[in-house]
A and B are shown apart, each in its own frame.
Chain A
Amino acid sequence: DAGITQSPRHKVTETGTPVTLRCHQTENHRYMYWYRQDPGHGLRLIHYSYGVKDTDKGEVSDGYSVSRSKTEDFLLTLESATSSQTSVYFCATRASSGGANEQFFGPGTRLTVL
C-alpha cells in the first residue's frame, strides 16, 4: 500500500464545532480524494485535488471544504459539524493519469458528531 496516513483516526465532536481531518501521503501522487462511507451508500466523493491548490467538488460537497497547500497534504474541513456528517472518512491518492488509475486508500477516520 502507498504511504497514506490519516489523522485523527477517531474523533467525537459536538454539533456546530469546526473539524479538520488530515491526509498525508509519501508517494508524491498527483491526485488526492476525500470520501465518506455510510451504510448502504458505498463511498461517496466529497472533494478531490488534481494538484497543489487545485481542487474540485464531488457529489456530496455541501458543508465541506478542502485545501491542498503541499503535494503531500490534503485537508478536509467541516466548518460547522452536523450530526448528518457522522461517518467514516477515507482519503485516497492516485498517481498521474494513465496506467491502472488505481486509488490507494488511507486507514480512515471515524467521526461522530453529537
Chain B
Amino acid sequence: GQQVMQIPQYQHVQEGEDFTTYCNSSTTLSNIQWYKQRPGGHPVFLIQLVKSGEVKKQKRLTFQFGEAKKNSSLHITATQTTDVGTYFCAAHNFNKFYFGSGTKLNVKP
C-alpha cells in the first residue's frame, strides 16, 4: 500500500511561535488531506489539496502541495493554545486513505 511519512513526530512550541509539519510520499499523490485530532477526540477534516503547487489558507493555517505532488506541509503562524492536538496528513488512493503517523503539537502558554 501507499506510504506517507510525516515529520516531526512531536513539536513543543511557545505560544506565538510558528509550527510546521511535513508529509512525504515516494509516489505521486492524486490528492492529500489534512486532519486535526484534539486530545481524547476524533480526527476532524481540515482541507484537501489536489493541484500541483497548490497553496490554501485557513486563517493562521497554510497548506501546501508540492509541485511534484509527492509532499505537503501544514504551517501554523503564531500558535495558540487552541492549536494543541495531533495533525495528520492522509493520501487518498481510489477508495482508500493512507494516513501519516501524525505530528503531536503542544503549545505552552
Contacts and interface: CB of A to CB of B under 8 A. Distances in A.
Interface stretch (A15-23, A76-84, A97-105): A97-105
A74 interface: no
Nearest to A44: B99
A42 B99 contact: yes
A41 B6 CA distance: 10
Given A40-B101, A59-B1, A45 B9 contact: no
A103 B96 contact: no
27 contacts: A1-B44, A31-B95, A33-B97, A40-B101, A42-B88, A42-B101, A42-B102, A44-B99, A48-B95, A50-B95, A56-B95, A59-B1, A59-B98, A90-B42, A100-B45, A101-B33, A101-B48, A101-B92, A102-B45, A103-B35, A103-B43, A103-B45, A103-B90, A104-B45, A105-B43, A106-B42, A107-B42
A42 B31 contact: no
A8 interface: no
